[in-house]
Amino acid sequence: MTRPCIAFFAALLVALAAQAEERIFDFATLREGDRPPGWRSLRVGQGPEADWKAVLADVPPTLKPLSDLAPKVARRTVITQAQLDPTDERYPLFVFDEERFGDFEAKTRFQVSGAGVAEMAGLVFRLADENNFYVVRVSTLGRNIRFYKFVGGQRSAPIGPDIPISKGEWHELGVKCTGNRIEVSLDGKEAIPALTDNSHATGKVGFFTKSDSTAYFADLRLSYRPLESLASVVLRAALQKNPRLADLHILGRKSGSKELVVLASRTSSEVGRVATDAERRTWDENRAYFTKGKEVSWVTLPIHDRNGDVLGIANVGLKAFPGQVESTTVARALPIVRDIEQRIGDATSLASE
């Protein structure tokens, strides 16, 4: 491989790493009986509702001790589902409710203890609601690891191998989602061959148990690429395709709101700004407006969906050029907006992700 190629791929890896974000949920700071903020308890199926809370347990350190004399475990709080009930089709879930994830990698340390009709612990991910999500779970009683999905409330056939999993010991379960590819690891090793499934593209992440399982979760570590709104995606594509663009603002309405605001912009301080009178007129009148500037001229144009209805507004800022008049500036801005309209397809909101 030539040096320019090596440099290119190195730069690409740095850029991709820069896009990733990380969240670590360490439950050791909780008091007994507490719940971490931002988390929600759910129960799928039958039986009593779930009751997730912090309890004390002996947990090994995340990093290997430097000395054999160091304590092997520490007494600290972990998360568990405390409402134990043997109902067979009962699935308690505990999900982080404040953010959805598309491409991500999640890892958690867990322990299954006690005895019951079920001895399971797992991760639920790409959860849209109680009827639509993925699950990876282990069973110390069944001595296996399984992947399955819920779609419209219907559970799929499980996939995964039989594998011995010790009860009363701590393990690490990992899930990595990239597009429709799902990878599963147990204690740092591949546990299920990579899967592909198109049922769920994004959703929430959390913990899973079944029936009367006693399962402890010490932490959850998430590495992920933040989801982008459709407005952000089409804005980036337009800027890459049109280097003469001095600036671009895309306006639309967020779900449940009638307020027209800037959803994406090359100028980050513009995001969230309420529409001006001229931008609102563009929406209401479904027509273009032109504003000439000394260095940058602006064309404000409606963005239409495939039915011809106004879905948003594009504020196109073009660098000044010789012979610039309204007609030629609008003519240069129109193809940019037409390309945006092609990219949004059948979308019903530019704020959607």
pLDDT in tens, 41-79: 999 999 999 999 999 999 998 766 656 656 678 899 999
Q: Rounded to whole angstroms, how far apart are CA atoms 20 and 52?
A: 30
State the fold for domain 230-344: Beta-Lactamase (3.30.450)
Torsion angle in degrees (nearest 10) through CA of 239, 241, 243, 244: -90
Provide the CA 216 distance to its chain's centre, in angstroms.
Answer: 24
First-residue to last-residue Cα distance in the chain: 37
The segment(s) of the chain belonging to CATH 2.60.120.560 are: 11-224
pLDDT tens per residue across span 291-337: 988 889 999 999 999 889 999 999 999 988 887 889 989 999 999 99
pLDDT tens per residue across span 107-148: 999 999 987 889 999 999 999 999 999 999 999 999 999 999
CATH code at 11-224: 2.60.120.560
The segment(s) of the chain belonging to CATH 3.30.450.40 are: 230-344
Supply 3's token pair.
């040096």
